[in-house]
Amino acid sequence: MSKAAPGEVLVSSTVRDLMSGSDITFEDRGLQELKGVPAQWHLFGVEMEAAEPPPETVARPEAAVRRISPAVLVAAAIAVALIVGAVVLVATRGQGRAAAFEPAPNTVVKIDAATGRVVGGASVGTQPIDIAFGERSVWVANSADRTIQRIDPTTNAAGSGFGGLNGNPTGMAVGGGFAWVTSGFEGTLSQIDPATNLARPMDIGVGAKAVAYGEDSIWVANDVNGTVTRIDPTTGSQRIIELPPGAAPSGIAVGQGSVWVADKLGSRVLRIDATTNQIVGTGTPVLGGHPNEVAFGAGFVWVTNTDNDSVTRIDAQTSEGVTIEHVGNAPTGIAAGAEGVWVANSLDGTVAQIDPKGTPHVVRTIKIGFSPDGVAVGDGAVWVTVDAAP
């Protein structure tokens, strides 16, 4: 069934980008599925100008400049897009594979964890802010759209965005048979059933940000009141753990019987014993800046430091930290997997791979462009959200 009303012209985001700089304006129609066309498309309506009354008949030179109508310009852009697509299809059909995926704002990029090559991706909603892997899906939280999307890790197809959230998502995790999404301004944690995609929000306190699953619990960091809330996924019961005065948690991860919390203002990583719910020690200092996001893998805690372009590795046994410098420009999202630790560098459009063994160091930097943000690992791949460059 056609998505356009009579007399209306709908175009994809690709055509809209080709028309950048023209006088034509577009109205965002959101993500939609098209009959007979795989995946999901971000459509825009062309805002046509009202027809001008015919001018008085005046003889003009043959070479006089004629004003081209928006419809003609759009048609030309569509033709260019189709030609480019046809060329790519012809070039790749003989090789027995689909056209290469091109990273762009509001997409998720799929990287082969073994080779470091971009092998696919999907278009998602506006401003994808976080990503997680689990329950046979890649889960994406779209902040501006207030939606969640699921990507099939085998086909890379993104399903329709679904809502049910109370506000803009701020964090995402998967565990215990559900997906979990925080909405900081509204102070909610939404439990999403993978079987129905229905969200059940619960009050968790304004400022709910990072979220993680582990030790049979959901853990939510609150950067407004300086707390971590532990939630039982079965009963919904909550236990609030007070952090030291002045703490501002920005990231959280669970591993080796502990919960690891990045305290951005305190320039440290705090450790909570998951058995006693008590803070252990005074935290591991993160030198030279403010810790941002946290991941756990290979027996270590990994923390991005956006201010000084570094990652800190913390030994889970001794709580001693080692700084890995020159990871990339403004590292944000981080995830650990079998092939290493993966870091999204938001200001230089790259993803860095760190070898966790021995002296940790960057072994590969992958250029994808724009502003990478969230990172997840699963199904032999690295999944990275891409936003527009700041």
Tens of pLDDT, residue by residue over 211-239, are 999 999 999 999 999 999 999 999 999 99
**Same domain, yes or no, for 186 and 261?**
yes
For 280-285, which contacts have Cβ atoms below 8 Å and span 24 or more sequence positions?
280/319, 281/319, 282/244, 283/244, 284/312, 284/314, 284/319, 284/320, 284/321, 285/321
Q: Which of 386, 390, 388 is nearest to 140 (CA)?
A: 386
Decide if 372 is inside a domain: yes
- From the number of C-beta atoms within 10 Å of its C-beta (0-12, 13-18, 19+), residue 48 rates as middle
**Same domain, yes or no, for 40 and 114?**
no
Q: pLDDT grade, residue 89 (50/70/90)?
A: very low
**Same domain, yes or no, for 90 and 111?**
no
Q: What is the pTM of this model?
A: 0.76
Average pLDDT over residues 326-348: 97
User: Which residues are CB-contacts of 16 (< 8 A; sequence separation ≥ 6)?
Assistant: 26, 44
Decide if 100 is inside a domain: no
Decide if 229 is inside a domain: yes
Decide if 60 is inside a domain: no
**Same domain, yes or no, for 167 and 238?**
yes
CA distances from 225 to 188, 204, 268, 288, 289 (A): 14, 11, 17, 25, 22
**Same domain, yes or no, for 332 and 210?**
yes
pLDDT at 358: 86
The Cα angle at residue 208 between residues 206 and 213, in degrees rounded to 5? 150
**Same domain, yes or no, for 127 and 82?**
no
Decide if 35 is inside a domain: yes
- Kindly report, residue by residue over 37-58, the tens digit of the pLDDT: 444 455 667 665 544 444 444 4
Q: Which of 257, 332, 272, 347 is nearest to 302 (CA)?
A: 332
| Residue written as token pair 């997997």 | 337
Number of domains in the chain: 2
**Same domain, yes or no, for 338 and 254?**
yes
Domain boundary among 26, 61, 95: 95
* Cα separation, 217 vs 236, whole angstroms: 10
**Same domain, yes or no, for 201 and 335?**
yes
* Cα separation, 223 vs 309, whole angstroms: 22
Q: Tokens at residue 366, please?
A: 């992958």
Top-confidence residue, 322 or 51: 322
* Cα separation, 48 vs 332, whole angstroms: 41
pLDDT at 36: 45
**Same domain, yes or no, for 28 and 3?**
yes
Whether the pLDDT of residue 22 is over 60: the answer is no
Q: What single letter denotes the amino acid at residue 199?
A: A
**Same domain, yes or no, for 162 and 255?**
yes
Decide if 366 is inside a domain: yes
Decide if 59 is inside a domain: no
Whether the pLDDT of residue 96 is over 90: the answer is no
Instruction: Return mean pLDDT, the chain.
Output: 84
Beta sheet of 249-255, edge-to-edge order: 249-255, 258-263, 268-273, 279-285
**Same domain, yes or no, for 144 and 250?**
yes
Average pLDDT over residues 187-193: 96
pLDDT at 5: 58
Decide if 318 is inside a domain: yes
pLDDT at 82: 40
**Same domain, yes or no, for 272 and 348?**
yes
pLDDT at 289: 76
Average pLDDT over residues 186-193: 96
- Kindly report, residue by residue over 113-162, the tens digit of the pLDDT: 999 999 999 999 999 999 999 999 999 999 999 999 999 999 999 999 88
Look up the domain containing 307 and give its range.
107-387
* CATH number of the domain enclosing 178: 2.130.10.10
pLDDT at 56: 47
Top-confidence residue, 356 or 288: 356
Top-confidence residue, 310 or 358: 310
